[in-house]
């Protein structure tokens, strides 16, 4: 065995894969050190071990520990971060305690130096909603064992620390970190603009326009409410860029009740249609829907939208679109109540008046209306 095989290691027992681990940021910080390694969950899940009789679970954990310690002590090109013996084993859930205990015992025996067990606690696992009464009882017992054995218990909240102190144990406060969570720039001179697009996302959509707007407006949040159709934009680089843009939020189809609430969170609505004959003459329904919530619409220069010109801001190109959107920043806190009142008057009965008039002229009985 290479002498380096006895270098001390800190082993993080991940309760799930690193990408899905709630403490991922702190784990990744620790993993910057060459003496810290992380182990994914074993083939026999921790939850399955916790449901086994304690003696059987301990035997399986001991077998797992032998394999893991042997692998960690291996050296060579295939194991550049290994070549050591655990000096610290960190568990993050009571169900991991049997394995942590087995690794610590074996490592102490192999190296001749005590291997510490550390216990990270960010929740009261023994009160988990999805645990049966029997499993809760097992979790409580394992928690007590882990906390008593732990050389360093670190907790996410002051309350968890207080609970440990109440049991006569010490706990170190290590609150959560969120390094990997995005924090877009906040510019008081250029506040965020929240826009919403309601409806079909496919052939009719001007993807080059949306891409250009998204790239020019880092402060934009565009809520895309409606089904998107990959088959209608296959091979379109602008569409692909829009799908990947972090400031375009693809929400998929939503009920009318949900869509109305999403519009309430926005400053302005948009009509992102191409300027072409199919789109030019129509009257996009969404303009009225936005207006019912006091939101104006920004649209390319389509002839049909001018029917409701007082509710629409026309933008000739991407730069005009950006300027129009920025002009509406913050409007979500001051909806246009006059626009809303107008929109609420555009009832089916009011819009159908020419039809009713003609029916009456022809002698059709309209008493039911």
CATH superfamily name and code, 193-351: Glycogen Phosphorylase B; (3.40.50.2000)
Structure confidence at residue 76 (pLDDT): 46
Structure confidence at residue 74 (pLDDT): 78
Sheet with 84-91: strands ordered across: 36-39, 7-13, 84-91, 116-121, 152-155, 172-173
Task: Please determine, for residue 7, whether its predicted confidence score (pLDDT) is greater than 80.
Answer: yes
Q: pLDDT-based confidence at 83, cuts 50/70/90?
A: confident
CATH number of 3-173: 3.40.50.2000
Structure confidence at residue 75 (pLDDT): 58
Look at the block and give the residue holding tokens 């008493």. Answer: 367
Rounded Cα distance, 228 and 205, in Å:
10
Structure confidence at residue 80 (pLDDT): 46
Q: Are 205 and 273 in contact (CB under 8 A)?
A: yes
Tell me which H or E stretch contains 275: none
Q: How many Cβ atoms are within 10 Å of 231's Cβ, its own excluded?
A: 7
DSSP structural state of residue 273? B
User: Mean pLDDT lowest for which of 21-25, 74-78, 161-165, 339-343?
Assistant: 74-78
What are the tens digits of pLDDT across the range 193-249? Answer: 999 999 999 999 999 999 999 999 999 999 999 999 999 999 999 999 999 999 999
3-state secondary structure (DSSP) of residue 53: coil
Q: Which of 305, 267, 301, 303 lies closest to 288, judged by CA?
A: 305
DSSP structural state of residue 83? -
Residues sharing a CB contact under 8 Å with residue 292, sequence separation 6 or more, in sequence order = 260, 340, 343, 344
Phi-psi region of 367 (alpha: psi -120 to 50; beta: other; left: phi over 0): alpha
Q: Hey, where are the domains in the chain?
A: 3-173, 193-351
Q: How many angstroms separate the Cα of 31 from the Cα of each of 116, 233, 314?
A: 18, 42, 53
3-173 and 193-351 have identical folds: yes
Structure confidence at residue 82 (pLDDT): 54
Q: Which of 178, 176, 152 lies closest to 164, judged by CA?
A: 152
**How confident is the model over 20-43, as a mean pLDDT?**
93
DSSP structural state of residue 94? G
Would you state the structure tokens that stand for residue 71, as one six-digit string? Answer: 């692998």
Predicted TM-score of the model (pTM): 0.83
Rounded Cα distance, 311 and 290, in Å:
9
Q: Are 263 and 269 in contact (CB under 8 A)?
A: yes
Provide DSSP, 265-302. Answer: T-SEEE--B-SSHHHHS---THHHHHHTTT--EEEES-
What are the tens digits of pLDDT across the range 99-157? Answer: 999 999 999 999 889 999 999 999 998 888 888 888 899 999 999 999 999 999 999 99
């Amino acid at each position: 065995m290479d002498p380096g095989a006895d270098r001390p290691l800190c082993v993080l027992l991940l309760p799930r894969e690193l990408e899905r681990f709630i403490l991922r940021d702190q784990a990744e910080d620790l993993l910057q050190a060459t003496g810290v390694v992380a182990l994914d969950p074993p083939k026999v899940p921790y939850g399955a071990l916790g449901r086994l009789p304690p003696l059987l679970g301990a035997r399986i954990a001991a077998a797992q520990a032998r394999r893991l310690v042997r692998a960690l002590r291996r050296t060579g090109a295939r194991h550049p971060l290994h070549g050591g013996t655990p000096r610290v084993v960190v568990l993050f859930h009571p169900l991991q305690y049997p394995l942590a205990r087995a690794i610590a015992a074996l490592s102490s025996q192999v190296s001749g130096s005590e291997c510490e067990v550390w216990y990270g606690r960010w929740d009261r696992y023994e009160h988990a909603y999805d645990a049966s009464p029997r499993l809760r009882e097992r979790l409580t017992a394992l928690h007590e064992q882990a906390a008593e054995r732990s050389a360093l218990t670190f907790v996410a909240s002051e309350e968890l620390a207080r609970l440990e102190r109440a049991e006569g144990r010490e706990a170190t406060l290590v609150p959560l970190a969120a390094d990997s969570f995005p924090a877009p720039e906040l510019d008081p001179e250029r506040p965020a603009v929240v826009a919403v697009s309601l409806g079909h996302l496919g052939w009719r959509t001007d993807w080059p326009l949306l891409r250009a707007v998204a790239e020019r407006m880092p402060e934009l949040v565009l809520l895309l409410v409606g089904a998107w159709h990959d088959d209608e934009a296959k091979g379109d680089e602008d569409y692909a860029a829009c799908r990947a843009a972090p400031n375009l939020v693809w929400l998929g189809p939503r009920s009318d009740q949900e869509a109305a609430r999403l519009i309430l969170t926005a400053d302005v609505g948009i009509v992102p249609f191409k300027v072409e004959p199919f789109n030019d003459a129509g009257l996009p329904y969404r303009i009225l829907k936005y207006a019912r919530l006091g939101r104006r619409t920004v649209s390319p220069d389509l002839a049909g939208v001018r029917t409701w010109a007082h509710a629409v801001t026309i933008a000739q190109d991407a730069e005009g679109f950006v300027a129009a959107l920025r002009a509406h920043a913050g409007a979500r806190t001051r909806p246009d109540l006059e626009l809303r009142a107008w929109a609420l008057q555009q009832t089916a009965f009011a819009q159908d008046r020419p039809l009713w008039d003609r029916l009456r002229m022809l002698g059709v009985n309209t008493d039911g209306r």
